[in-house]
Amino acid sequence: MTSPEPSPTLSLSGVAFDGRSSRDRAATLDVSGDVAVLRVEGGESRWPLAGVRIEPPVPGVRRVLKFPDGSRFETGDDAGVTRLEARTGRNRALGGVRRLEARWWTALGALALTLAFAWAFVVFGIPALARTAATATPRPVLATFDRETIQFLEGQGYLAPSRLSAARQRQLQAEFRRVTAWAGGSYPYRLLLRDGEPGDAPFQIGANAFALPNGTVVMTDQLVALSRSDRELLGVLAHETGHVTGRHGLAGVYQGLGLTLLSVAVTGDLISAGTFAAAVPAALLRNGYSRAAETQADETAGRYLMRAYGTTKPLRDILARLEEDDREADENSVHESSRTEDLLQTHPGTAGRIRHLREIEARGR
């Protein structure tokens, strides 16, 4: 049996620091067997190799070896230190990472993965976080959003008291109670009938209805005037209750305003909720709902209409009238968009929603 051949002496050139001052001195480090010898002008130090610490590599920085007495040796001979690491088995994992970093194709692959992760987080992660946060938001925060939003809309002149007669308002309120009794969810539902086109409004809401997170539903006089029957209005109100029970409005606000609001949701910070509530109207009226949210709310409205009237046509017709801005329009007035246009839309088109409501009716028969 023969003894293994000893490793050749490894010599490195660099500078040394004594650990007590910032002065560097030219030095050499010779490693032979299990001993490291540091030679500087006027003397040398010998250390067991096991007691020498080799710092992990950092791109663009000299390699560093530290000794038990606090002194250190720095060298630009990266290849030599890498051989020493291979000989002693040090920094194996980090060495593998470094080798990957040194290859352009692995760097490009890592960049592509990072970009893909960022895209997935924006497209799927943030909406998922927003939905989770909306579900977890305490009721007092929801009430704050409702209160502050209505105060903002009325205070800024976007909404004015309804011009509908008292009898007509009582009739619509009674019908709304029937819808909410069916919708459930134990929200403190309330219907606010308002004029959506005050003369001095900075922005005309017009014929519209929207739901706030805690169950407040606003319906404008202009939408009531656009309808041909209360069945159409009940379809709209049932649709809005779907947004309430699905917490779509709050999820949309969280998604639109970013992660800051998520902390409001989970901590129940009422002061911050009041501050951010001013952004709710813009998020609801300008951004609208996502495809998934509108589809889910249409499912809710479709179930209500099928149960009450055996058809979803009332909602289909008023959707067409809103789309065409024509009181004479009906569901047949809306033209289908191309498949490409449909794919590029972030929100569902009216034609697609009408088609979906027809499918609900077909399933219910």
Per-residue pLDDT tens digits for 158-212: 999 999 999 999 999 999 999 999 998 889 999 999 999 998 877 788 999 999 9
Contact present, 267 and 132 (Cβ < 8 Å): no
Mean pLDDT (the chain) is 84
Residues of the chain with CATH 2.30.29: 10-102
Write the DSSP assignment of 148-193 as a string of letters.
HHHHHHHHTTS-EE--S-HHHHHHHHHHHHHHHHHH-S----EEEE
- The predicted model scores a pTM of 0.64
Share of the chain above pLDDT 70, in %: 83
- Greater model confidence, 59 or 204: 204
Confidence band of 119 (pLDDT split at 50, 70, 90): confident
The CATH architecture to which 10-102 belongs is Roll (2.30)
At residue 90, the 3 state secondary structure works out as coil
Give yes or no for residue 88 having a pLDDT over 60.
Answer: yes
What's the pLDDT score for residue 344? 47
Contact present, 206 and 196 (Cβ < 8 Å): yes
Confidence band of 268 (pLDDT split at 50, 70, 90): low
